[in-house]
């Protein structure tokens, strides 16, 4: 009897996690992972730190190499192999060996797509060339750090106000570069209420990052003075020795799309709660799929490593179980972003006020300020928070925290609260621990819950 074959397409985070889950669920299956690049498992979120020199060696970011995964996780890895086509009816995957150019048909019983996402170009012309870098692969990170070493100007223009752009800009400024960040909506505007984003903006300025609320439209490589000039939508030209394009990412769905897999409104694969695509025998996970999102289960594209890992576990298990074990389901995701940028710790979970209203929630927001510990203690630092909640019931929709420390801690409390379906009154009534040097008598979580509850009561009192 032939061994059951489970194929996985794509490395980095989701693919290896799905393959490992498949082996755990069916140790008798042959599980093979195909990755078109050289590296199969690395810390993609560390790339801004590699580029800026905080992490010294690209090899430090490699979590597992192929032989390591084969030995410890029990699945085979074929790097430099690109999947080029799927025949869902025949359960065949077409794979090209990029070294030899040879093309093979690989049979499968179950296929898991973890094709990830690719850098978006944001409509900017001239993103090619040796002085323009993106940050998606280990090679990108190495390339950027080498380009930085060769850059005579010391001036870097970063395109994009998302977390990757902000982390990169902040780290490069800390490493002594002159940095201009082009963020048309301002920094982290998708993840922070305007009043918190303004604090981040000010911190960036203090840390040597000049934020311009302009959109890059083109990069000129033939500028007279500096090597590059970035043209903005205000018609200005910003000189640069180097450009880092962090213009966001888009789901990579070409392979599955060509096989007719259903694509959701976000542009990523639409899957069910078991991570099953619209084609029999094909599951998907990682940055190429939509996932259910809290507080309900509406499909959303959330390209985050923790979400990818959760989805991969479910997809890998379900691809391997074939009815013999209970199906796993991906629970709705809280969606937490965090970072350290310009000396500030930032945690943002769930919806912002604006994004919640765009989704149709009757959302309100309170913003509060407190301390991370008792103010008599040296560790105490200011902390700012926004709590996003639904009227009239007070269900928590999201929260954001910003301060020199303690922000991510509170964000993860909100992750648990969102998963538990907590309201702002619940948050107010949770008995968070207190000890002067490490936690204030009233936590900012308690204060935010109380402020939101008060807002809701006033709304009820003044309702017609």
**Per-residue mark of binding to a copy of itself, 151-170 (x: CB under 8 A):** ------------x---x---
Size of the site for a copy of itself (CB under 8 A): 61
Count of other CB atoms within 10 angstroms of residue 107 = 12
∠ at Cα 116 (310, 127), nearest 5°? 140
201 binds a copy of itself (CB under 8 A): no
What's the rounded Cα separation, in Å, for the pair 109 and 104? Answer: 16
Binding segment for a copy of itself (CB under 8 A), chosen from 43-51, 235-243, 245-253, 272-280, is 43-51
**Binding window for a copy of itself (CB under 8 A); candidates: 39-47, 173-181, 204-212, 236-244:** 39-47
From residue 55, give the alpha-carbon distance in Å to each of 48, 51, 145, 313, 347: 9, 8, 10, 29, 22
Q: How many CB atoms are closer than 10 A to CB 128? A: 10
Residue 141 interacts with a copy of itself (CB under 8 A)?
no
x/- site string to a copy of itself, residues 46 to 65, per CB under 8 A? x--x----xx----xx----
Show contacts with a copy of itself in window 251-310 (CB under 8 A). Answer: 304-307, 309-310
Output 29 or 338, the one with its CB closest to a copy of itself: 338
CA angle 385, 347, 199 (to 5 degrees): 55
Judged by CB under 8 A, the stretch of 88-96, 106-114, 227-235, 409-417 that binds a copy of itself is 409-417
Comparing CA positions, the residue from 247, 225, 251 lying closest to residue 238 is 225
- 418 to 437: interface string for a copy of itself, x by CB under 8 A: -xxxx---x--xxxxxxxxx
- Using CB atoms within 10 Å of the CB of residue 462, give its burial: 0 to 12 exposed, 13 to 18 middle, 19+ buried: exposed
Contact 186, 152 (CB under 8 A): no
Distance of closest approach, residue 45 Cβ to a copy of itself, in angstroms: 6
DSSP 3: P
In the complex with a copy of itself, the residue whose CB is nearer, 250 or 335, is: 335
- The distance of Cα 173 from the centroid of its chain, to the nearest Å, equals 22
Using CB under 8 A as the binding rule, whether residue 376 contacts a copy of itself is answered as yes
Q: Which residues bind a copy of itself (CB under 8 A)?
A: 43, 45-46, 49, 54-55, 60-61, 163, 167, 304-307, 309-310, 331, 333-340, 345, 347, 349, 374, 376-377, 406, 408-413, 415-417, 419-422, 426, 429-439, 441-443, 445
């Amino acid at each position: 009897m032939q061994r059951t074959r489970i194929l996985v397409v794509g490395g980095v985070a989701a693919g290896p996690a799905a393959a490992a889950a498949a082996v755990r669920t069916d140790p008798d299956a042959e599980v093979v992972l195909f990755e078109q690049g050289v590296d199969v498992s690395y810390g993609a979120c560390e790339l801004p730190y590699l580029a800026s020199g905080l992490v010294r060696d690209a090899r430090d970011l490699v979590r597992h190499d192929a032989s390591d995964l084969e030995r410890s996780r029990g699945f085979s890895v074929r790097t430099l192999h690109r999947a080029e086509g799927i025949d869902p009816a025949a359960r065949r995957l077409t794979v090209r060996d990029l070294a030899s150019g040879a093309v093979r048909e690989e049979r499968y019983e179950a296929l898991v797509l973890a094709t990830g996402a690719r850098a978006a170009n944001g409509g900017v012309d001239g993103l090619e060339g040796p002085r323009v870098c993106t940050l998606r692969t280990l090679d990108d990170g190495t390339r950027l750090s080498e380009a930085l070493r060769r850059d005579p100007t010391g001036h870097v223009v970063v395109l994009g106000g998302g977390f990757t752009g902000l982390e990169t800009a902040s780290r490069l400024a800390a490493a002594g570069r002159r940095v201009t960040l082009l963020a048309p909506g301002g920094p982290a505007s998708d993840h922070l209420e305007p009043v918190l984003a303004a604090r981040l903006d000010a911190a960036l300025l203090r840390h040597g990052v000049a934020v311009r609320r302009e959109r890059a439209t083109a990069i000129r490589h033939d500028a007279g003075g500096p090597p590059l000039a970035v043209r903005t939508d205000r018609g200005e030209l910003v000189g640069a020795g180097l450009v880092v394009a962090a213009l966001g990412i888009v789901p990579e769905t070409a392979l599955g799309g060509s096989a007719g897999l259903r694509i959701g409104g976000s542009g990523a694969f639409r899957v069910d709660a078991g991570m099953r695509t619209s084609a029999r025998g094909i599951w998907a996970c990682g940055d190429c799929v939509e996932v259910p999102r809290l507080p309900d289960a509406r499909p959303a594209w959330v390209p985050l490593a923790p979400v990818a890992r959760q989805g991969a576990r479910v997809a890998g298990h379900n691809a391997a179980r074939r009815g013999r074990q209970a199906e796993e389901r991906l629970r709705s995701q809280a969606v937490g972003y965090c970072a350290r940028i310009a000396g500030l710790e930032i945690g943002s979970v769930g919806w912002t006020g604006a994004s919640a209203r765009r989704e149709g929630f009757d959302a309100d927001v309170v913003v509060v300020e407190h301390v991370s510990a008792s103010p008599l203690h040296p560790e105490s630092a200011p902390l700012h928070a926004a709590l996003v909640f639904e009227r009239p019931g007070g269900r928590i929709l999201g929260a954001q925290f910003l301060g020199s420390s303690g922000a991510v801690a509170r964000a993860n409390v909100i992750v648990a609260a969102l998963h538990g379906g907590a309201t702002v009154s619940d948050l107010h009534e949770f008995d968070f621990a207190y000890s002067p040097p490490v936690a204030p008598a009233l936590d900012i979580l308690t204060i935010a819950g109380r402020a939101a509850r008060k807002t809701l009561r006033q709304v009820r009192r003044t309702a017609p």
